Structure 1
Amino acid sequence: MNENAFKFSVLMTIYKKEKAEYFDRALESLENQTVLPTQIVIVKDGPLNESLEDVIKIHAKKFRNVYTVISLKQNHGRGYASKIGIKHISNKWFARMDSDDVSSKNRFELQISAINKYNKAYPKLAVIGGQISEFMDDASDTVGYRRVPQEPDRIKEFAAYRSPINNPTVMINKEALLAIGNYSELNVLEDYDLWVRFLSNSYTLINIPDVIVNMRVGNGMYKRRGGMKYLNTYIRQKRIWKGQGIGTNKTVFLSSIAMMGNILFPSSVRKILYQKILHK
Structure 2
Amino acid sequence: MHTNATFSLLLPVYAGDNAEFLRLAFESSVNDQTLRPTEAVIVQDGPVPVELATELERIERESPIPVTIVRLPTNQGLTRALNVGLDACTQPVVARMDADDVSRPDRFERQWAMLCDGFDLVGTGMAEFEHDPTRPVSDRIPPVGAERIRNHARTHNPFNHPTMMYRISALDRVGRYEPFGKMEDYWLGVRLIASGAWVENIADPLVLYRVGAGAFARRGGWREARTEWKLQGAMRKIGFITRGEYLRNVLMKGAYRLMPASLKRVLFRRFVSGGLPGDRAA
Could you state the TM-score of these two structures normalised by the residue count of structure 1? 0.93
- Aligned residue in 2 for 1:38: 38
What SS is found at the alignment partner of 2:207? strand
* 1:114-193 mapped onto 2 (5 Å cutoff): 114-116=114-116, 118-119=117-118, 125-193=119-187
Letter in structure 2 aligned against 1:28:
E
CA RMSD, Structure 1 to Structure 2 (Å): 1.4
Could you give the per-residue CA deviations for residues 83-109 of structure 1, whole angstroms, max 9, x where no partner exists?
111110101101000111101100000
Tell me whether 1:220 sits opposite 2:214 in the alignment: yes
Tell me whether 1:51 sits opposite 2:45 in the alignment: no
Letter in structure 2 aligned against 1:277:
F
Residue of 222, 229, 237 corresponding to 1:235 = 229
Letter in structure 2 aligned against 1:131:
G
Residue of 252, 259, 272 corresponding to 2:246 = 252
Maintained 8 Å contact 1:219/1:267: no
Identity of aligned residues (%): 30
Letter in structure 1 aligned against 2:132:
D
| Deviation at residue 64 of structure 1 after TM alignment | 6.7
Letter in structure 1 aligned against 2:13:
I
- Aligned residue in 1 for 2:19: 20
Alpha-carbon distance between aligned partners in 1 of 2:5 and 2:179, rounded to the nearest angstrom: 30
Letter in structure 1 aligned against 2:202:
I
- Aligned residue in 2 for 1:73: 73
What SS is found at the alignment partner of 1:41? strand
Alpha-carbon distance between aligned partners in 1 of 2:203 and 2:72, rounded to the nearest angstrom: 36
May I ask how many residue pairs the two structures share in their alignment?
Answer: 273
What SS is found at the alignment partner of 2:172? helix
| Deviation at residue 30 of structure 1 after TM alignment | 1.1
What SS is found at the alignment partner of 1:6? coil
What SS is found at the alignment partner of 1:219? coil
- Once the two structures are overlaid, the 10-residue window that deviates more, 263-272 or 66-75, is 263-272
Could you state the TM-score of these two structures normalised by the residue count of structure 2? 0.92
- Aligned residue in 2 for 1:200: 194
Letter in structure 1 aligned against 2:271:
I
Alpha-carbon distance between aligned partners in 2 of 1:114 and 1:252, rounded to the nearest angstrom: 33
| Deviation at residue 65 of structure 1 after TM alignment | 5.1
Could you give the per-residue CA deviations for residues 224-250 of structure 1, whole angstroms, max 9, x where no partner exists?
211111111111111111222222122
Alpha-carbon distance between aligned partners in 1 of 2:63 and 2:172, rounded to the nearest angstrom: 28
Maintained 8 Å contact 1:160/1:248: no
Unaligned runs of 5+ in 2: 275-282
Maintained 8 Å contact 2:228/2:254: no
Tell me whether 1:278 sits opposite 2:277 in the alignment: no
Letter in structure 1 aligned against 2:108:
F
- Aligned residue in 2 for 1:10: 9
What SS is found at the alignment partner of 1:273? helix
Alpha-carbon distance between aligned partners in 2 of 1:186 and 1:209, rounded to the nearest angstrom: 26
- Aligned residue in 2 for 1:122: none
What SS is found at the alignment partner of 1:247? coil
- Aligned residue in 1 for 2:101: 101
Maintained 8 Å contact 2:141/2:204: no
Alpha-carbon distance between aligned partners in 1 of 2:22 and 2:39, rounded to the nearest angstrom: 17
Could you give the per-residue CA deviations for residues 45-90 of structure 1, whole angstroms, max 9, x where no partner exists?
1100111111111111112751110011111110111011111010
Alpha-carbon distance between aligned partners in 1 of 2:13 and 2:174, rounded to the nearest angstrom: 25
Letter in structure 2 aligned against 1:34:
T
Letter in structure 2 aligned against 1:75:
N
Alpha-carbon distance between aligned partners in 1 of 2:208 and 2:23, rounded to the nearest angstrom: 15
Maintained 8 Å contact 1:9/1:89: yes
